[in-house]
Structure 1
């Protein structure tokens, strides 16, 4: 329950069938694990997650017609997870997390059929006064940093900053997923609000030990200010030689009590093509009451490259109203505008609900 409350605190509102047997088996195993953990005071296991869905009319600038649909997630992608730790003594604990995205509108696991079973996080490691060191599949810290500096958080449906940098249908200036495989991740302890994360992904390509991802991330939270600075290198293999993209993010949010203001800048540079991009984002969150929030955000991305086809300008904006029904449940209504150069305007209207557990 405490983990679910921490998840809600980071949300912007504060601001199948084939796998069913496997899921039932895992849940049964979890029940036995929790029972065993209670007998061992040094171990803790939690079941937690978030479920959300929305209904809307969706149209991007580069699509000819709107689509009326029921979508998965919305403000936050639906997921469930099992996490735990064991006290090893000396202030050190062994920790793990196994988390899976799912689609509540149809019961399917993953964000799509391409996702693995544990699609959100799947890692184990150690935590202590030295910080946290884990190994496995991790959420990309650049994506996490973006969620701190825009009012729509980690939304891959409504946040203009996230849409333009990570969502393929909107151009995804940053190469790679919001989750990285085969990675080692180290996070420093909190140092008076300052923190740092380093993540490295082993390439796993025979004869090419240098094919791997690398990210360095700095953050600060305190006195109403949140600030992030991130840099990452993604190497990839295609038909030709190994390519590499460098991506950078700088952003901040400041809570003035009457309004929280957000701003971010991101750029990418592909040294192989060569192509690049610059993204600018601004947003705000206004609390009308402890349970009611107005959210607004705009992002602009200019892409450049050697040909006319690789040059474009995109403006995306979202306006939303979020109402908390309780500490763990909220409802919302959102309008999004999208305009890609040489294409007509796209308009999206949606209403949704979200619940943490």
Structure 2
């Protein structure tokens, strides 16, 4: 080790950085080993992710024509990540995760040009019998809760519930991203299926509360039942003073073995302007075999406000068939219907593939 340090000391600065990068990738590649060769025997580092893409004809209700494209992700947004933990003793471990979205159809980093490099997660913290406490850029627990109570999971392309609440082009009612910056998040230990999460995003503005996001989340997963209850406040800046939106979510899913049923309700209220929304969702998943699933979901959002442009009704529905080729690879076909008030119907047809590693 000392000899290696002497060699590194004699390398030019740029070469040292490049060498360290190669070493980091090598360490991350030790995903399947129980002992980290790059550190202490009590440490582990893993490389993991998901690659997915779809091809389809896409048309929303408020677009004049359909677009034939190859899209990123589909049922799940493509990402890769590095995570690790170190045993600190006393049942406590230090943990970290660095995760990045990417677009396999063109090789671009992030979901779009505005994403940072570690766009999906970038946090460090501690885990033990007390639960988990982490700090950094972290996934919004409201988005995680939504993925548990609809058959299309976290899909920002095909899930009507996610589209109508988080996707701007579909008039997403919840302000803010599916990932929050500058957050501290605490998750309780699981107690007979019950769990709770509190997340707070520091404003970082001198002399002002700034953009301080706050969320409280409850969940239950046991005996075939999944139930979620979430509430969050998101502050934002506009032309005037800082505004704030409150969003609430309640949902459940129950596995009857022959079919899993889903249902959810979401509401938003902007305290700065008299605008709000109500979203209702229902869905099902039918397993025809251990490898074949029929997915169906519908969502309806009513937006209300003081002007005709802030009043609208949107209905979105998706029907899909998912076939597992293996434990890590699946293919699917999906049809989506979209209807926004005062606009013609939009129809989307797509086929896709996912692979986890």
* TM-score of the pair, normalised by structure 2: 0.92
CA contact (8 A) 2:247 2:267 kept: yes
Equivalence map 1:41-56=2 (5 Å): 41-56=41-56
Q: Report deviation, 1:326.
A: 0.1
Distance 2:294 2:206 in 1: 51
Distance 1:262 1:27 in 2: 45
- Looking at both structures, which has the greater relative contact order when contacts are Cα pairs under 8 Å and sequence separation is at least 6? 1
Distance 1:171 1:24 in 2: 46
Q: Report deviation, 1:41.
A: 1.9
Give 2:186's aligned residue: 186
Q: How large is the Cα RMSD of the aligned pairs?
A: 1.5
Give 1:170's aligned residue: 170
Q: Report deviation, 1:80.
A: 0.1
Larger CA deviation: 38-47 vs 94-103: 38-47
Change (3 A) 1:277 1:66: same
Q: Report deviation, 1:27.
A: 5.7
Change (3 A) 1:61 1:47: same
Give 1:288's aligned residue: 288
1:288-340 alpha-carbon deviations (Å, 9 max, x no partner): 00000000000000000011110000000000000000000000000000000
CA contact (8 A) 2:316 2:338 kept: yes
Equivalence map 1:298-337=2 (5 Å): 298-337=298-337
Give 2:228's aligned residue: 228
Give 2:8's aligned residue: none
Give 1:350's aligned residue: 350
Give 1:122's aligned residue: 122
Give 2:78's aligned residue: 78
Change (3 A) 1:25 1:353: farther
Give 1:245's aligned residue: 245
Distance 1:184 1:30 in 2: 27
Larger CA deviation: 176-185 vs 198-207: 198-207
| SS at 1:68 equivalent | strand
Query: Which structure has the greater CA radius of gyration?
Result: 2
Give 1:5's aligned residue: none
> Unpaired segments of 5 or more residues in structure 2?
1-16
Give 2:297's aligned residue: 297
Distance 1:171 1:210 in 2: 25
Q: Does 1:29 align with 2:24?
A: yes
> Unpaired segments of 5 or more residues in structure 1?
1-21
Distance 2:205 2:243 in 1: 13
Equivalence map 1:207-222=2 (5 Å): 207-209=207-209, 211-222=211-222
Q: Report deviation, 1:204.
A: 1.4
Give 2:105's aligned residue: 105
Q: Report deviation, 1:32.
A: 3.9
Change (3 A) 1:349 1:24: farther
Change (3 A) 1:24 1:280: farther
Distance 1:50 1:338 in 2: 28
Q: Report deviation, 1:348.
A: 0.0
Change (3 A) 1:225 1:26: farther
Larger CA deviation: 204-213 vs 157-166: 204-213
Give 1:196's aligned residue: 196
Change (3 A) 1:27 1:83: farther
Distance 2:78 2:114 in 1: 16
Change (3 A) 1:23 1:268: farther
Q: Does 1:89 align with 2:84?
A: no
Q: Report deviation, 1:26.
A: 4.5
Divergent runs of 4+, >6 A: 22-25
- Count residues with an aligned counterpart: 336
Distance 2:238 2:286 in 1: 45
| SS at 1:309 equivalent | helix
Distance 1:107 1:308 in 2: 41
| SS at 2:36 equivalent | helix
Distance 1:33 1:226 in 2: 34
CA contact (8 A) 2:200 2:212 kept: yes
Q: Report deviation, 1:24.
A: 10
Give 2:6's aligned residue: none
* TM-score of the pair, normalised by structure 1: 0.92
